[in-house]
Amino acid sequence: MEEKIKYELEFPVKASPTMLFPFLSTPSGLSEWFCNDVNSRGELFTFFWDDSEESAKMIKKKQDKFIMFSWMEDVEEGNKNYFEFSIEVDELTKDVSLIVTDFAFEDEVEESKQLWDSQIHELMHIIGS
């Protein structure tokens, strides 16, 4: 079976970690830019798009730092794939960056990066960054 490739994207953000984190970690925040709607029960998040839905398990979270999810399909198959939103603050300049880590099949990496770029652009628009 073909392995997915890990990749990271970094986006400069003109917002504090405290302001940004709820958009990455709460159903109401995620539904503003990531998908049409989100339901959550504990660690299980269900994401809704026009004609589809996907569930993901929240693996780890540290307030205002990062949140990591794994799609239930990957959990059930025992894959170690995940997607993560990580907020980094430069010690010197105090510039804030959002790091997106994800996995995709080799022939889908560029398309996946473009999708994240579009989604994060929407997030930046919503938060005024």
Confidence of residue 1 (pLDDT cuts 50, 70, 90): low
The kind and range of the H/E element at 57 are: strand 52-62
Cα dihedral 75, 62, 109, 32 sign: positive
In the structure encoding, which two tokens stand for residue 63, read together? 């307030």
Q: Under DSSP, is residue 46 helix (H, G, I), strand (E, B) or coil?
A: strand
CA 96 to chain centre: 16
For tokens 């029960």, the residue is: 41
21-66 confidence digits (pLDDT tens): 999 999 999 999 999 999 999 999 999 999 899 999 999 999 999 9
For residues 17 and 28, give the distance between their C-alpha atoms in angstroms, rounded to a whole number. Answer: 17
Averaged over 14-18, what is the pLDDT? 96
pTM for this predicted structure:
0.93
Position 94, amino acid: K
Question: Is residue 2 predicted with pLDDT exceeding 80?
Answer: no
Range of the domain at 59: 5-127
Name the domain count of the chain: 1
